[in-house]
Amino acid sequence: GSCGSCWAFSATGALEGMHFKKTGKLVSLSEQNLIDCSKEQGSGGCNGGLMPQAFEYVQETGGINSEENYPYDGKDDYKCRYEAENSITKCSTMGLILTGDEKALLEAVATVGPIAVGVDARSSEFHFYKSGIFKNPWVGDSRLTHAMLVVGYNSTKHWIVKNSWSHVWGDDGYMLLEQGSNQLGIANKACYPIP
């Protein structure tokens, strides 16, 4: 699968967290729904998109389908098959973290839940990460090339970040990322849906 859909996985993760907080139900939401249907909001489907475009789509459409109803095929289908009657959740607006503000990100994870983030995933160290607290070996301007989901943190030591590269990557699909120096640009494009 060469579908650049990390942004859709990041967005559904944040939406699932929001929905769970609201209803107590954990429902897997459809990334394919976002890939096929958010072109109008500016997303490029499998050629990449941004989480705010996904949240905007859900906001304007009034919903998103479940993974079960609208399964992932990792292709640009160019045909939106969203069914309003099977909508699982909706959002009214979105929250954005001030660029680079890790304290605000911490606050958001603590009070809101999972937060969609952009990261700089260009280094081979990132690609081959296995375990432990990751610290980017080279510091330069972070270009956000990938999207992930911050699901938690350990006090102010590290972030717990979920990737969409299956459980074979990293620590069962997750990464522990050093906190305090905006590693990988983690707080540069962080956002979340608001019910």
Contact by Cβ (8 Å): 127, 121: yes
Tell me the sheet residues that pair with 117.
148
Q: How many degrees, rounded to 5, is the angle at CA 11 between CA 58 and CA 46?
A: 95
Tell me the sheet residues that pair with 171.
174
Q: Are strands 158-162 and 146-154 parallel, antiparallel or unpaired?
A: antiparallel
119: Cβ–Cβ under 8 A, 6 or more apart, which residues? 142, 144, 145, 146, 147, 148, 161, 184, 185, 186
What is the number of other CB atoms lying within 10 angstroms of the CB of residue 127?
A: 11
> What is the amino acid identity at position 71?
P
Q: Give the residue numbers marked as catalytic.
A: 6, 146, 163
